[in-house]
Structure 1
Amino acid sequence: MSSILFSKVELQPAADGSSGALVAYLARTAQSLGQVHHLVWSLFGDRDSDRQFLYRMTGAGVRQPILLYSAEPPKDNTGLWKVETKSMTLPEAAGERVAWSIRVNPVVSRDGKKHDVVTDARRSAPKHERWDDTARRVMPGWLAPRLEKMGLQVLEGDIVVEGSAKHEFPHDRGGRPVTVRTVDLSGTATVTDPAALASGILNGIGSAKVYGCGLLLLRRIA
């Protein structure tokens, strides 16, 4: 049976004392992708080790739950987090139908550099086309082959672009701020290769996984 660990983590309700004050402080201040990723990494100990998890924020900052896929369970040594973890069983048979959703940072590599897919497409887009409209036009073609590589068959016309956002936050080492474009997508798919799905889902899709992108949420459907 193929499974990974699925966790939901959220800050404990603010309580009396210093820990409660810290929870309240984090809830107020940890709003950017850069701040949140440091907090998530702290649940997995050694930041110098290979990343063995993906996460996705469900709201702004850490006020809302954070969803995680991981090979090992997240561990809170601070008492700041409420952590719920369970084993998630993945589809085991070709032909199963699933609903999915994902937040991605879509990039294309050219001349040794990574370029945002939507921004890149806008170079040849109609002059008055909005960014979100460009995303709806080009994102299905970018995502479909990546889902297929992960063992999921999906029709481009069934991919829904739900929204997009631009995030800017200070770089850890100073200098120019980090800019991350994210696009939220959803749809349905047919499982074609359960082994590919099991081996690929923890690798995620796209770039900026350290900032909460690439986690493919799945739900079986009849």
Structure 2
Amino acid sequence: MTTTLTRILINPQRRQARKLLTNPQAMHAAVRATFPPDIEQEDARVLWRVDHRGHEHVLYVVGPERPDATGLVEQAGWATRPAQTAEYTRFLAALKKGQRWHFELVANPVMSKAGERGTRGKVVPHVTPEQQLDWLIKKSVNAGFSVAGSGEDGEGLPTARVVERANLRFRRRDRTVTVRTARFDGVLEVTDADALRSTLVHGLGKAKAYGCGLLTLAQPH
């Protein structure tokens, strides 16, 4: 398996770029089109996330092979800034228990609410930062890492915080879809390297087609 991580600069002055930045359904289709239709997603699925830093909009894509982002860059990027793709496999192989990494994640924190009198339950979103952070802490147990709530610990212990929340609303076929998202960042500690590798290539939580679930790691600041 050759997993890749791709970075694409999005130009918001372009009409197609504005559409992609405001419609996760359209962005999903554009990202998926950078890979052949017959790709095998058992070992790694296609994940994406958009980061906004000032006037810069960066699209990150993880996939099971090298994407061809030429068309996406032509329609929504900068001709002078081609997509940058790196092999992810070597980085994943180097993960070890006890390592600490700065992380970023956009997720769709939800819970299953039981139905009454045997009726089918429904999935409802967590709405407060406290609920969303608690969701991440619980998810991390099986995802191969540990984090605690944000706070001044004074010892550089793993911490996480919610830095942004949003409600994404867009049309899908004949209905309106709403996805509630939370952006997390902080420091994590690797507790199970194999489980974390799986999380990095398969995503965390739901709504992965709509820009959620892609966890990225970097050296701590």
Confirm or deny a common fold (TM above 0.5): yes
Distance in 2, matches of 1:187 and 1:3, equals 28
Residue 136 (str. 1) matches residue 146 (str. 2): no
Total equivalences in the alignment: 192
Distance in 2, matches of 1:98 and 1:44, equals 29
Write the deviation string for residues 1-24 of structure 1: whole angstroms up to 9, x where unpaired: x9832111235x7xxxxxxxxx93
Instruction: Give the 3-state SS of the residue equivalent to 1:167 in structure 2.
Output: strand
Does the CA-based 8 Å contact 1:108-1:114 persist in structure 2?
yes
Distance 1:74 1:208, change over 3 A: same
What amino acid is the match of 2:98?
G
Counterpart in 2 of 1:92? 95
Shift of 1:76: 3.3
Further displaced range: 69-78 or 44-53: 44-53
Distance in 2, matches of 1:70 and 1:210, equals 13
5+ unaligned residues in a row in structure 2: which ranges? 114-119, 151-158
* Two-structure CA RMSD over aligned residues (Å): 2.8
Distance in 2, matches of 1:183 and 1:140, equals 9
Instruction: Give the 3-state SS of the residue equivalent to 2:201 in structure 1.
Output: coil
Deviation >3 Å, runs of 4+: 47-51, 76-79
Quote the sequence identity (%).
27
Distance in 1, matches of 2:202 and 2:68, equals 21
- What is the TM-score when the length of structure 1 is the normalising length? 0.75
Distance in 2, matches of 1:35 and 1:214, equals 17
Counterpart in 1 of 2:6? 7
Counterpart in 2 of 1:181? 180
Write the deviation string for residues 173-217 of structure 1: whole angstroms up to 9, x where unpaired: 21x211111111111111111111112321111111101000011
What amino acid is the match of 1:204?
G
Distance in 2, matches of 1:139 and 1:29, equals 28
Instruction: Give the 3-state SS of the residue equivalent to 1:144 in structure 2.
Output: helix
Does the CA-based 8 Å contact 1:96-1:220 persist in structure 2?
no
